[in-house]
A and B are shown apart, each in its own frame.
Chain A
Amino acid sequence: MAKSYIVSGNPHWHSPASTQKIMLDVIIALCPAVLVSFLFYGWSAILTMAVSVASCVLLEWAITKYLLRKSSTIGDLSAVVTGILLGMNLPSGISWWIIVIGALVAIGVAKMSFGGIGQNVFNPAITGRVFLLISFPAQMTTWPVPHGFIQSVDAFSGATLLGKVKELGAASVADLDYLHTFLVNIGGSAGEISALALLAGWIYLCCRGVVKPWITLSIFATVAIVAAIFHAADPAQFTGPLFNLLTGGVILGACFMATDYVTSPMADWGGVLYGFGIGFIVMMIRYFGSYPEGMSFAILLMNMTVPLINMAFHHKKYGR
Chain B
Amino acid sequence: MNRKTFSIGGIHPADSKFAADRPIEVLPLPDKVYVSMSQCLGAPSKPIVAVGDKVLAGQVLAEPGGFIGAFVHSPVSGTVKAIGPGKDLAGNRITQIEIDVEGDEWAPGIDLSPELVTELPDDRQVILDKIKAAGVVGLGGATFPTHVKLNPAPPAKAEALLINGSECEPFLTSDYRLMLERPSEIVVGAALMQKALGGPVCYICIEDNKPKAIESMQKAIDSLPYKDILVQPLKKKYPQGGEKQLIDAVMHRQVKSGALPISEGAVVQNATTSFAVYEAVQKNKPLVSNIMTITGNCLPVESQHNCLFRIGVPLSFIAEWAGGVPEKAAKIISGGPMMGKAIANLDAATVKGSSSLLYLSEEVTRRRPEQQCIRCGRCSDACPMGLEPFLLNKLYLAGGREEELEKNAAQDCIECGCCLYSCPAGIPLLDNVRQAKVQVMGIIRARAAAAKAAAEAAKNKN
Task: List A residues at the B interface (Cβ < 8 Å).
Answer: 1, 3, 5-15, 17-19, 21-22, 73, 76, 78, 115-119, 261-262, 266-267, 314-320
A7–B374 Cα gap in the complex (Å)? 28
Give chain B residues whose Cβ lies under 8 Å from the Cβ of A8.
331, 342, 367
B338 touches A22 (CB 8 A): no
B372 to chain A, nearest CB (A): 4
Question: What is the interface of chain A mostly: helix, strand, loop, or mixed?
Answer: loop
B360 touches A13 (CB 8 A): yes
| CB of B255 within 8 Å of the partner chain | yes
A15 touches B257 (CB 8 A): no
B331 touches A5 (CB 8 A): yes
A9 touches B431 (CB 8 A): yes
Give chain B residues whose Cβ lies under 8 Å from the Cβ of A315.
8, 380, 383, 386-388
B387 touches A317 (CB 8 A): yes
Nearest residue in A to B90 (C-beta to C-beta)?
Answer: A7
The number of residue pairs between A and B whose CB atoms lie closer than 8 Å in the complex comes to 152
Give chain A residues whose Cβ lies under 8 Å from the Cβ of B69.
none
Question: What is the interface of chain B mostly: helix, strand, loop, or mixed?
Answer: loop
A317–B367 Cα gap in the complex (Å)? 28
Give chain B residues whose Cβ lies under 8 Å from the Cβ of A7.
90, 331, 342-344
Give chain A residues whose Cβ lies under 8 Å from the Cβ of B30.
none
A116–B373 Cα gap in the complex (Å)? 10
- A7-B342, A7-B344, A315-B387 in contact; A14/B368 too (CB < 8 A)? yes
The interface-forming segment of B147-155, B204-212, B413-421, B446-454 is: B413-421
B388 touches A12 (CB 8 A): no
Give chain A residues whose Cβ lies under 8 Å from the Cβ of B54.
none
Give chain B residues whose Cβ lies under 8 Å from the Cβ of A318.
8, 244, 248, 254, 384-386, 412
| CB of B339 within 8 Å of the partner chain | yes
Residue in B244, B343, B388, B424 whose beta carbon sits within 8 Å of that of A266 in the complex:
B388
A6 touches B412 (CB 8 A): no
Give chain B residues whose Cβ lies under 8 Å from the Cβ of A314.
388, 408
Give chain B residues whose Cβ lies under 8 Å from the Cβ of A119.
372
| CB of B103 within 8 Å of the partner chain | no
Residue in B332, B372, B376, B385 whose beta carbon sits within 8 Å of that of A5 in the complex:
B332
Contact flags (1/0) for B249-267 with A, using CB distance below 8 Å? 0000011110100000000
| CB of B140 within 8 Å of the partner chain | no
Nearest residue in B to A76 (C-beta to C-beta)?
Answer: B371
**Docked complex: B324-352 residues within 8 A CB-CB of A:** 325, 329-333, 337-347
Nearest residue in A to B91 (C-beta to C-beta)?
Answer: A7
B386 touches A317 (CB 8 A): yes
- A5-B331, A13-B421 in contact; A316/B374 too (CB < 8 A)? no
Give chain B residues whose Cβ lies under 8 Å from the Cβ of A13.
13, 337-338, 360, 364-365, 421
Give chain B residues whose Cβ lies under 8 Å from the Cβ of A17.
378, 422-424
Residue in B329, B330, B380, B420 whose beta carbon sits within 8 Å of that of A11 in the complex:
B420
Residue in A6, A78, A267, A317 whose beta carbon sits within 8 Å of that of B365 in the complex:
A6
The winner among A10, A14, A78, A318 for most chain B CB atoms within 10 A is: A318
| CB of B377 within 8 Å of the partner chain | yes
A319–B345 Cα gap in the complex (Å)? 38
Give chain A residues whose Cβ lies under 8 Å from the Cβ of B259.
319
- Show 7 A/B contacts (Cβ-Cβ < 8 Å), sorted by A: A9-B431, A11-B430, A117-B372, A118-B373, A261-B376, A318-B244, A319-B256
A308–B256 Cα gap in the complex (Å)? 28
Nearest residue in B to A8 (C-beta to C-beta)?
Answer: B342
Give chain B residues whose Cβ lies under 8 Å from the Cβ of A320.
256-257, 386, 409, 412
